[in-house]
């Protein structure tokens, strides 16, 4: 396969790895930590983005039992806290103003339609990972949803598959596939810009990227533009939820860490 088809994928992956390695110098070793999320909130955004963006976790926090305890192996807690602060500052000074400006210009129904379109485009990720987990029926439903929404739904801008036919989405990614086959989560990692993750999900990100249609667009500028619109459109739908989290969380890092790990474990179990 031609190199230029992978150019953006390689650039993004290398930048992420370099930033991660360079930041590990701030880490210090600690014992595993048992803790629970300190708070949850019940309001969720009306979006179907699924499992592929850190902001999509906010609409699932209300499903967790506040008394549930999650054991997290966190030897890089020093680095993770540092990167959580960095990501939070980037959010406050860059992402939030841009997302709010975008939200002011683009009305919510349009943003929801764009979100559905991007979700529809991630069909290959969901289809392949459902098959890898031997969930053949769900893979078939995902295929039916893609066909219906790509045609009657006008390239995924609308979701008649769910609204008219009752076909729910079954989002799966390679991190979930690894977990399905018993691969442990490993230690917790907070990635630059991308936010909470763990070793299993970090390596699962790369196969999923190869399944995304935009990976094979040779025009890097177009790929970057579409990726930026995708992320800021999603953030515009969840900016209030993240602000609520920042205000309510006693310890933002612990809250994000435990919520992420519980959400991922729940997704694997389903």
Residue where the block lists tokens 């406050």: 92
The predicted pLDDT at position 260 comes to 96
pLDDT block averages, 10 residues each, the chain of length 270: 44 45 39 38 36 46 52 94 96 95 96 97 97 97 98 96 95 97 96 95 96 91 93 94 86 94 93
The predicted pLDDT at position 218 comes to 87
Show the tokens assigned to 144. Answer: 């039916």
The predicted pLDDT at position 245 comes to 83
Q: Do 118 and 111 meet the contact criterion of CB atoms below 8 Å apart?
A: no
Residue 229: CA atoms inside 13 Å, Cβ hemisphere, count? Answer: 16
Q: Kind of pairing, strands 188-191 and 70-72?
A: unpaired
The predicted pLDDT at position 244 comes to 86
Q: Per-domain residue ranges for the chain?
A: 3-26+80-269
For the question of whether the overall pTM of this predicted structure is more than 0.85, the answer is no
The predicted pLDDT at position 68 comes to 59
The predicted pLDDT at position 154 comes to 96
Q: How many CB atoms lie within 10 A of CB 229?
A: 14
The predicted pLDDT at position 251 comes to 93
């Amino acid at each position: 396969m031609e190199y230029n088809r992978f150019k953006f994928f390689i650039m993004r992956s290398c930048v992420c790895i370099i930033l991660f390695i360079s930041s590990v110098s701030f880490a210090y070793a600690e014992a595993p930590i048992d803790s629970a999320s300190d708070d949850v909130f019940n309001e969720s955004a009306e979006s179907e983005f699924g499992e592929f963006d850190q902001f999509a976790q906010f609409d699932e926090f209300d499903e967790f039992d506040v008394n549930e305890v999650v054991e997290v192996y966190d030897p890089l807690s020093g680095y993770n806290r540092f990167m959580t602060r960095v990501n939070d500052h980037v959010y406050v000074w860059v992402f939030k103003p841009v997302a709010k400006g975008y939200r002011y210009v683009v009305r919510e129904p349009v943003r929801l339609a764009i979100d559905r379109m991007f979700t529809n485009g991630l069909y290959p990720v969901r289809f392949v990972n459902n098959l890898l987990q031997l969930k053949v029926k769900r893979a078939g439903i995902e295929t039916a949803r893609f066909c219906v929404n790509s045609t009657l739904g006008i390239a995924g801008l609308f979701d008649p598959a769910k609204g008219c036919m009752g076909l729910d989405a079954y989002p799966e990614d390679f991190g979930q596939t690894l977990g399905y086959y018993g691969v442990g989560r490993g230690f917790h990692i907070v990635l630059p810009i991308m936010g909470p993750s763990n070793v299993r999900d970090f390596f699962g990100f790369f196969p999923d990227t190869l399944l995304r249609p935009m990976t094979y667009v040779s025009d890097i500028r177009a790929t970057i533009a579409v990726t930026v619109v995708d992320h800021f459109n999603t953030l515009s739908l969840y900016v209030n939820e993240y602000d609520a989290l920042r205000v309510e969380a006693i310890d933002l890092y612990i809250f994000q860490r435990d919520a992420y790990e519980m959400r991922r474990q729940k997704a694997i179990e389903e």
